[in-house]
């Protein structure tokens, strides 16, 4: 049996174990909540993770590369970037898939039936990790920009409240030209 068929056949087991790898990066209490609370309103992070893992896996199995995988990765990485995971922690779940595959496909690997295909598939996983790193960087940059703007706006508001800053009213373009022409 070829690798793709094996991965399809063992899909549910692989997804379950891969999801566990990702959830293991959270504290114990959070893991229990994220695993067992199925309501997407009460547990949006858990739902994002389980739906994302499933969708990413399905996209990896496709022959052609799709831009949809970026959306699924973005959903998971965005959450982890906001939660202040270090970059290595935020994307480590991607590499965890390799371990899950080796565990689930152990007997087939030993028999040497799928080794070349597995190496090629693991290269796809490595590429996925690189995409995750780019997404993580973009998210952290956006968070940084938001925080800087918040500080800037708050500082400006406080200075105005203290009477230390005054806004200069805008002058219409026609008035500026008239003043320049009258002075010139």
pLDDT digits (tens, 9 = 90+) for 1-51: 789 999 999 999 999 999 999 999 999 989 889 988 878 889 999 999 999
CA dist 20 and 25 (Å) reads 9
Q: For residue 111, is it within any domain? A: yes
Domain that holds residue 53: 3-136
The SS3 of residue 41 is coil
Q: For residue 114, is it within any domain? A: yes
Stated pTM of the model: 0.78
Q: For residue 57, is it within any domain? A: yes
Q: For residue 120, is it within any domain? A: yes
Q: For residue 172, is it within any domain? A: no
HSE of 98, CA atoms in CB hemisphere, 13 A: 17
Q: For residue 171, is it within any domain? A: no
pLDDT digits (tens, 9 = 90+) for 50-60: 999 999 999 99
Q: For residue 86, is it within any domain? A: yes
Q: For residue 115, is it within any domain? A: yes
């Amino acid at each position: 049996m070829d690798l793709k068929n094996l991965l399809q056949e063992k899909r549910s087991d692989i997804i379950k174990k891969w999801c566990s790898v990702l959830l293991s990066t959270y504290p114990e209490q959070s893991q229990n909540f994220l695993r067992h609370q199925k309501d997407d309103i009460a547990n949006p992070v858990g739902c994002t993770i389980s739906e994302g893992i499933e969708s990413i896996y399905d996209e990896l199995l496709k022959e052609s590369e799709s831009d949809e995988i970026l959306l699924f990765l973005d959903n998971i990485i965005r959450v982890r970037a906001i939660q202040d995971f270090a970059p290595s922690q935020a994307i480590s779940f991607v590499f965890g898939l390799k371990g899950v595959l080796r565990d689930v496909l152990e007997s087939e690997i030993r028999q040497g039936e799928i080794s070349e295909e597995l190496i090629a598939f693991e290269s796809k996983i490595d590429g996925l990790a690189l995409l995750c790193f780019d997404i993580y960087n973009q998210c952290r940059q956006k968070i940084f920009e938001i925080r800087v703007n918040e500080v800037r706006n708050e500082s400006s508001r406080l200075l105005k409240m203290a009477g230390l800053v005054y806004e200069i009213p805008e002058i219409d373009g026609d008035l500026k030209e008239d003043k320049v022409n009258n002075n010139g």
